[in-house]
Amino acid sequence: MSEVKKVATRDSYGNALVELGKEHENLIVLDADLAAATKTGVFKKEFPERHIDCGIAEANMTGIAAGLSTCGFVPFVSTFAMFAAGRSFEQVRNSIGYPHLNVKIGATHAGISVGEDGASHQCNEDIALMRAIPGMVVINPSDDVEAKAAVKAAYEHEGPVYLRFGRLAVPVINDRPDYKFEIGKGVELRDGKDCTIIATGLCVSEALEAAEKLAVDGIDAQVINIHTIKPLDEELVIAAAKKTGRIFTVEEHSVIGGLGAAVSECLSENCPTKVTRIGMNDVFGESGPAKELLHKYKLDADGIYERIAAEMK
Amino acid sequence: MNKLELQKTAVEVRKGIVEGVHAAKAGHPGGSLSAADIFTYLYFEEMNIDPKNPKDPDRDRFVLSKGHTAPGLYSALAHRGYFPVEDLLTLRHTGSYLQGHPDMKHIPGVDMSSGSLGQGVSAACGMALAGKLNKKDYRVYALCGDGEIQEGQIWEAAMFAGFRKLDNLCVIVDNNNLQIDGAIDEVCSPYPIDKKFEAFNFHVININGNDFDEIKAAFDEAKATKGMPTAIIAHTLKGKGVSFMENAVGWHGKAPNDEEFAIAMEDLRKAGEALCQK
């Protein structure tokens, strides 16, 4: 494979905020002492008066965002996924979700690709938590192009949105002129007839690579990118199940409550189909370089390929 | 409103609390009654509000951080004209817009949904910060319980408000000294409350929160205080105005039965009558 451009979606987040901030004066960014890591620092440099550092107090930051939104601001609450969805779950649920306020949560450092910081900071439960809140939109973009488009779409959407970003630089796969982002609309990236790989986030590029390996073995895999986990593109998922009859979901998240769960719930009700959930198997992560961890937990192209090849025998 | 009018109005607000909780057969009368004079002063005297235009961007805002005392807020809102007083009898009923805890989506005049303790002051900070950023001169009020300030998020918010010099923010602590499990200084004491807020760079005023002269003086002083937020520590009597509920821990979250309801309403009727003799 030739060298492709790689960008961490947390960088996309910061850059997209700067671009949107130029157009919209009511966009305001909140951070909790992590502006350098969440990449909202670039926004702070451009618009210091609209960047509110709340210190290491995520619950309060979440509530401040709620209050700001009632006064016409569109706040982007920024911190690691562990703290945005984990520590502040109840604030997100009660101060933002219940009153359906127009607050966007920019959660960076999601999943095991956080790397060396280890399990305490690797949030593999955030999609499950956020998905359970009524009215919450949950987006997990796959690359730089999609992440920027998602931030813009989140701003334009009226209501709470959870945006999931990663720390690791990942291949840019959506850099094409006809690329279009629509909340709730999945994207077929590869046609195939034998099985369907439904992936989200950084696992999308890995799934595409795995599909190429499967093709060498004579397995023709369809690949679908589900960037919006809620609302799920049920139409596309059901159509894929009808077409190939065999589904694999891939996510850098627990197999409990995330994309795999969402797809399984949809198909068990609408089109019973065998679904294999590839993700974190109800375990915590550990310290190590991100690429090594993705390999160890079988979420890279090799791991995905091996699992599907074995199941498809 | 003069003091007598405020006192009379507070009696009506208290009646609405008792009627609502009785009709609901559930709810929190104790802390609603202790704060009834504060609700009354805020909605009938202090705040720049218009019941006909509850979403006016320039209005003063109120966040009931101790959301379980919604009967007090609802009664003040109803008597101020935000919605019919009769609707108070639908409190907590299935299908009613008067939810057990404040719901900004469905109740006219409610500026923030609340109920899960500890979260309201943060939202109030967001509103106050928005006022500063938008160069608006509205004020923001948040009412907390004295048990509620055991929640850590209150102090995260206090740190933020003090640091950001949010002088358009006024936090009121309803210090009735009782929480569900007993006296606050026997459960897990938050005292000294005033010293804590001072340490977080608040201007602090201690008052009798059931005395309109002291309430008025405190809110006037808060408005005149620049460069820092104000905390009013309102020393109140839980259950104030209903003889058998006063300073009784058991009346935190319990509805009166029909017999108790009759006594409570008689207490309040007499109080109102006594004020009419003045």
State how many domains chain A has. 2
- For residue A182, tell me if it sits in a domain: no
Q: Shortest Cα distance from B179 to chain A (angstroms)?
A: 22
Residues A218 and A307 placed together within one structural domain of the fold:
yes
Q: Kindly state the helix (H) or strand (E) to which residue B248 belongs, with its residue range.
A: none
Q: Is B160 on the interface with A (CB under 8 A)?
A: yes
Residues of A with a catalytic annotation lie at: 58
Instruction: Say if the Cβ atoms of B104 and A99 lie within 8 Å.
Output: yes
Q: Is B150 on the interface with A (CB under 8 A)?
A: no
- Which residue(s) pair with A224 in the sheet? A188, A198
Residues A154 and A229 placed together within one structural domain of the fold:
no
Cα–Cα distance measured from residue A161 to residue B185, given in angstroms and rounded to the nearest whole number: 41
User: What pLDDT is attached to residue B278?
Assistant: 82
Instruction: Say if the Cβ atoms of B122 and A63 lie within 8 Å.
Output: yes
Give the Å distances, CA to CA, from B42 to A184, B2, B47, B60, B137: 45, 13, 5, 10, 17
Cα–Cα distance measured from residue A12 to residue A8, given in angstroms and rounded to the nearest whole number: 7
Residues 6+ apart with CB under 8 A from B262: none
Alpha-carbon Rg for chain A, nearest whole angstrom, is 19
Please name the member of B123, B133, B156 whose beta carbon is closest to the beta carbon of A57.
B156
- Chain A hits for B129, CB-CB cut-off 8 Å, are 52, 64, 67-68
| Cα torsion through B162, B167, B168, B171, rounded to 10 | 50
3-state secondary structure B121-187: HHHHHHHHHHHHHCCCCCCEEEEEECCHHHCHHHHHHHHHHHHCCCCCEEEEEEECCEECCEEHHHH
Q: How many CB atoms lie within 10 A of CB A178?
A: 4
Q: Shortest Cα distance from B31 to chain A (angstroms)?
A: 22
Residue B9 has pLDDT above 90, yes or no: yes
Q: Phi and psi at residue A307, in whole multiples of 5°?
A: -65, -45
A149: containing domain: 6-171
Q: Shortest Cα distance from B149 to chain A (angstroms)?
A: 14
Please name the member of B57, B61, B126 whose beta carbon is closest to the beta carbon of A64.
B126
Using alpha carbons, select from B115, B29, B119 the residue that is nearest to residue B75: B29
Residues A117 and A211 placed together within one structural domain of the fold:
no
Burial B196-212, CB ≥16 within 10 A → b, else e? bbeebbbbbbbbebbbb
- For residue A181, tell me if it sits in a domain: no
Cα–Cα distance measured from residue B270 to residue A132, given in angstroms and rounded to the nearest whole number: 51
Q: What is the pLDDT of residues B235-264, one digit of tens each?
A: 999 999 999 999 999 999 999 999 999 999
Residues A263 and A296 placed together within one structural domain of the fold:
yes
Return the residue of B nearest to A100 by Cα. Answer: B105
Residue whose structure tokens are 């999943």: A111
Give the Å distances, CA to CA, from B182 to B64, B247, B248: 22, 11, 9
Residues A92 and A213 placed together within one structural domain of the fold:
no
The domain boundary, picked from A137, A171, A205, lies at A171
Which residue out of A26, A31, A70 would a mutagenesis test of the B interface target, given it has the greatest number of B Cβ atoms within 10 Å?
A: A70
- Chain A hits for B160, CB-CB cut-off 8 Å, are 54-55, 57, 60, 64
Which CATH number do you get for residue A16? 3.40.50.970
Give the Å distances, CA to CA, from B116 to A92, B29, B215: 12, 17, 27
Residues A148 and A32 placed together within one structural domain of the fold:
yes
Q: Is B133 on the interface with A (CB under 8 A)?
A: yes
- For residue A1, tell me if it sits in a domain: no
**Contact present, B27 and B255 (Cβ < 8 Å):** yes
Q: Is B97 on the interface with A (CB under 8 A)?
A: no
- For residue A210, tell me if it sits in a domain: yes
Which residue out of A26, A50, A51, A64 would a mutagenesis test of the B interface target, given it has the greatest number of B Cβ atoms within 10 Å?
A: A64
Return the residue of A nearest to B119 by Cα. Answer: A63
Instruction: Say if the Cβ atoms of B112 and A49 lie within 8 Å.
Output: no
**Contact present, A176 and A268 (Cβ < 8 Å):** no
Residues 6+ apart with CB under 8 A from B260: B244
Q: Is B135 on the interface with A (CB under 8 A)?
A: no
Q: What percent of chain B has pLDDT over 90?
A: 100
Residues A208 and A159 placed together within one structural domain of the fold:
no
| Cα torsion through B73, B79, B82, B84, rounded to 10 | 110
Residues A128 and A254 placed together within one structural domain of the fold:
no
Instruction: Say if the Cβ atoms of A69 and B103 lie within 8 Å.
Output: no
- For residue A60, tell me if it sits in a domain: yes
DSSP state for residue A96 in the 8-state scheme: I
- For residue A129, tell me if it sits in a domain: yes
Alpha-carbon Rg for chain B, nearest whole angstrom, is 17
SS3 at position B92: coil
Cα–Cα distance measured from residue B9 to residue B15, given in angstroms and rounded to the nearest whole number: 10
Cα–Cα distance measured from residue A15 to residue B21, given in angstroms and rounded to the nearest whole number: 52
Please name the member of B105, B128, B152 whose beta carbon is closest to the beta carbon of A100.
B105
Residues A158 and A191 placed together within one structural domain of the fold:
no
Instruction: Say if the Cβ atoms of B160 and A64 lie within 8 Å.
Output: yes
Q: What is the pLDDT of residues A297-311, one digit of tens each?
A: 999 999 999 999 999
C-alpha torsion sign, points A57, A59, A60, A62? positive
Residues A68 and A110 placed together within one structural domain of the fold:
yes
Which CATH number do you get for residue A256? 3.40.50.920
Q: Show the tokens assigned to A143.
A: 């690359």
**Contact present, A44 and A35 (Cβ < 8 Å):** yes
Residues A94 and A225 placed together within one structural domain of the fold:
no
Q: Which residues of chain A have pLDDT under 70?
A: 1-2
- Chain B hits for A50, CB-CB cut-off 8 Å, are 133
Please name the member of B120, B124, B153 whose beta carbon is closest to the beta carbon of A59.
B153
User: What pLDDT is attached to residue A2?
Assistant: 60
- Chain A hits for B157, CB-CB cut-off 8 Å, are 60, 63-64
Residue whose structure tokens are 């007499």: B270
SS3 at position B110: coil
- For residue A177, tell me if it sits in a domain: no
CB pairs below 8 Å between A and B: how many?
105
Q: Phi and psi at residue B15, in whole multiples of 5°?
A: -60, -40
The domain boundary, picked from A171, A196, A217, lies at A171
In one letter, which amino acid is B272? G
SS3 at position B62: strand
Give the Å distances, CA to CA, from A21 to A35, A40, B132: 16, 11, 19
User: What pLDDT is attached to residue A62?
Assistant: 98
Residues 6+ apart with CB under 8 A from B25: B255
Q: What is the residue-averaged pLDDT of chain B?
A: 98
Cα–Cα distance measured from residue A210 to residue A62, given in angstroms and rounded to the nearest whole number: 39
Burial class (CB within 10 angstroms; exposed 0-12, middle 13-18, buried 19+) of A296: middle
Instruction: Say if the Cβ atoms of B57 and A72 lie within 8 Å.
Output: yes
Residues A241 and A304 placed together within one structural domain of the fold:
yes
Cα–Cα distance measured from residue A23 to residue A85, given in angstroms and rounded to the nearest whole number: 28
**What domains appear along chain B, each with residue ranges and CATH number?**
3-277 (3.40.50.970)
Q: Is B122 on the interface with A (CB under 8 A)?
A: yes
**Contact present, A109 and A152 (Cβ < 8 Å):** no
The domain boundary, picked from A138, A171, A204, lies at A171
Phi-psi region of B95 (alpha: psi -120 to 50; beta: other; left: phi over 0): left
Task: Record the pTM.
Answer: 0.97
- For residue A265, tell me if it sits in a domain: yes
Burial A244-264, CB ≥16 within 10 A → b, else e? bebbbbbbbbbbbbbbbbbbb
Q: What is the mean pLDDT of residues B100-127?
A: 98
